[in-house]
Structure 1
Amino acid sequence: MFLYDTMMTQKAHNFLLTFLFLPLFIFSQQEKGANYFEVAIQKKVRSLKSKNNFNKAQYFFFKEEWDSTLVYSMKQLNSNIDIETKQYCHYFRGYSLRKKGLYKQSSIEFGFINKSFQYYYLVDNNIGLLFYYEKKFNEAIIYFLKAEKEILENKDESEITDIYTNIGICYLHLNQYAKAESYLKKDVLLNPKQITKSVVRSNINIANFYYEQYKDLQAISYFKKAYKLSKNIKDFNLKQTTAFNMAVVEENRGDYKKALEYRKEAEDLKDSLNNQNKIWAVADFEKKFAVAQKQKQIKVLQVENKLKNTERNSLFFAAIGLLLILTGGVYLYGQKVKNAKTILLQKNKLDELNATKDQLFSIVSHDLRSSVNALKTSNSKLSATLETKNYDELNRLIIRNSTIANGAYSLLDNLLHWAMLQTKQLYFHKESIHLYSIIQQIEYNYKPLLLDKAITFENSVSKNIFIYVDLDSLKIVLRNLLDNAIKFSNENGKISFYTQETNPDFSDLIIQDNGIGMSHETIKELLTDSELLAKKSNSEIIGTGLGLQLCKQMIKKNSGTLNIESEINKGTKMILTFPKTRTNG
């Protein structure tokens, strides 16, 4: 019995069309042989052998690797290329974005293509597809018709069948059946006589068209034809589709045995990854077949089955409810434990930060208090000396006051810069710096302190070295390190600044003194992040360590590194590594 003799409902028709109709539209413009456009691209590739990005873009385009296509087409667009090559790149991008479901961006890319582009009918066709995806079928038809006209003018027969299919499907959505039939029949008639995937799809499309209108005799004829033709092609997906069509047709006709045979054939052709899911569908059809043979037995057992189903459903929902309660309890307990751990970590971190803050304030306030007290005591002596008019002692006290004031100023200056670094308020602007000139400036600033301790200063930095750093932060680093070198040097000592080459992209700046040096334990503490040193046994020399911590952070911000080499009573080497300016590297 045919479809219209089986009391078939609208729902049965929709089931078939939902599975078959929409995917077929999506497959248009895919899996075709070489067409005019592809040949033109290959010709373009041969003329642009030096354009590697274009070659890669078209390679990934035909491989349907859309992300790679987008990357290399954009790289090609960013270079100086001719207008025609730009049109191809924008087409690659628009097509790839459409495939990725980014329809708005796809429309923008197609909008960049000029109508003078030789294959602009492909652009119109793609824009029509974008409107179709938005279910704007009238707008889609406008662009498909434009594409049809342009294709016929260019005689590109490889594209015209897809256009006819697309137009027919849009008319079908608009319930304009006469126009839809006209274009779908054109598609069938234009297909080559040899059996291809396009021929099979065309027959399925026209079958769907008749099926939508309940013209089941015509529809079944084309479904059968598509099924027979699919035997001569190698596309397993299409074979599976035609077999599935026949299964649904036979199911609606009430022949469950044949439907089951077609269903099993479709399942055999299905990709192995989906076979497990389809087992239930096969089981469902086997059940229908069994039900059709044993309807009387089922009627007798209906009441019992309903009771069992009710009991089973009750148990099922009770189990689901219990599972949800248990899952919710476990989740809430896990969140509670997680939040407790987070709070504990935050508390520990806060305690650590508070301890560091308290330590910093304690040490800084102690040093400032010591400096102010020393300045107060020295000023008292200065007043007494003025009365005795002892000018040598007066000069010594003035120099001492200046030293104390400079030390307090340096401490406050370091504290200010450290605070600005922690709160990310310090502005960094990297530029090319002539290192030798900066060392000269630092030497000039510290000339009085060097003379006071009769320290020899040697600037052996190469005059050809330029480094790429922030100038202000570099000066802060060099001032702190020179100040430390003077502080830790004995009278008549020597401080040297020199460079060495260990890496073509970086320059090593060494600050060497022959002062009191330091132990390996002290070096380890100084190089540890966020380590503030308290006063050691020699309280006149060892301070907070804030200056060196500030230097480490600023060196790191300038993409540099700091190393320390030192021995007790043998002096210290501070080794700073900064990136060179590339143009001078």
Structure 2
Amino acid sequence: MTKKIHTFLLLFLFLPSIIFSQQEKNSKYFDIAVQKKAATIKSEKNFSKAQFFFLRKEWDSTLVYSVKQLNSNTDLATKQYCHYFRGYSLMMKGLYQQSRIEFDLISKSFQYYYLVDNNIGLLFYFEKNFEKAIIYFLKAQKEILNHKDETEIADLYRNIGICYLHLKQFDKAEFYLTNDIFLNPKHITKSVVRANINIANFYYAQYKDQQAIYYFQKAYNLSKDIKDFDLKQTTAFNMAVVEENRGNYKKAIDYRKEAEDWKDSLNNQNKIWAVADFEKKFTVAQKQKQIKVLEVENKLKDTQRNSLFFASIGLLLILTGGVYLYGQKVKNAKTILLQKNKLDELNATKDQLFSIVSHDLRSSVNALKTSNAKLSATLETKNYDELHQLIIQNSTIANGAYSLLDNLLHWAMLQTKQLYFHKESIHLYSIVQQIEYNYKPLLLDKSITFDNSVSKNIFIYVDLDSLKIVLRNLLDNAIKFSNRDGKISFYTQEINPDFCTLIIEDNGIGMSQQTIQELLTENELLAKKENSEIIGTGLGLQLCKQMIRKNSGTLAIESQIGKGTKMILTFPKTIA
């Protein structure tokens, strides 16, 4: 294989390996220590928030609350943690110089200083200073080996091995990369696949094609059992290059097509549509060709018929044909009229929806621009309390716009029948717990109490993704229409042995019976909030209704003005 192909594969594959391993996994020892530290200083609210966002990998929020904690009178140990939070967050955001400044502020007395050495090694790696990167990785090695965590050790060996590979010190690189494979878990994970890709690159760099191809093939086979689309696309692309170099272009094309199929993003949606359009045109052309062949055959058969027979019944055929054509014309005219009316209705709904969505998005963007202007002014005055409120306000506006676009996307996919449904047995209590965790910041912002009283013994038979969309939309609405210090409850009732009744109840502003009737009407896109000038699309609830129906469920609403709302859902239980 040519050196050009070698170089391309190395750049495409193993350069990101360190970044991936670090983003997927922090040291579990450090995560536990951070949580224990927060529990011992509960009065330090800024530290609690900083560690909360750090563990959730929300780097901007981590930076805000960690600097607030540093600006207060705090002990040395807490400062060490805050500097670590900031150093790690800045590294994840690609701000390497600022990250190193924060890490340098941590003293060697810090209990987890080996993580500082490991991260500084990463910073040197990103700057392609591989010799210094190895020095810091080796400083962290002793403590990491003491933990006897094979996954953590495998990550370290992978980092060191890749650095040696860049330095073309192949003997040392082989030692570490080989140990990376041996130390990875016995079950198939993303780390196992990457380890095989790295050792394949190692052999490629030395022109040992047979060994390299073996590990590329192994990585490709292992990737079939994981859900990481990027890795699936990478391994398929590798096999395409391997087959091209072998001269097997048919297999290479198949692998490249598979690699393209794994690029599941909106950026390549136009490609997918273009291919579908081409396939449609090709199919139509084939059908037209078949029709023409049939027409020729029919004409040949017609010429063989007896002319006398046609003469005797010609008049009858003309009369019958005239009546038939007239009937077809009347029938087609009615069909066209019905289709036109339906199309006009759909176009009106589409225009109304686009108008409302555009209005909501424009309002959100204007609000965000105004808030950002205030944010800039507040930064100059260093009013941190007001800055905090503006950041929360910006986040709320952005989340609202994102939810609107997310609902619009799912609604469009439902209308075009592109949304895939796979029903399975789901533990309802666990799903409600996940939804509560995702909306914890919004609940805390409005001081809303959340009560999950769903029975832990109930399993329902539904599509998991659509169930999450329904519960997220209904909880988002409940939060939106609840007052501060309100309460939202999820609980179940045993009414029908074959169905589960899930009730989502809030004590918010409620709604009138007329509003309920409008919301339950099909294709009703407008919903006016009581005592408010805000107009919403109603798209979220329409999306919920369609997805509930797809899951063989039902939706009912009970509400009174000023007394809250109950959203009553039923889903089929899992048959034991």
TM-score normalised by L of structure 2: 0.46
Larger Rg: 1
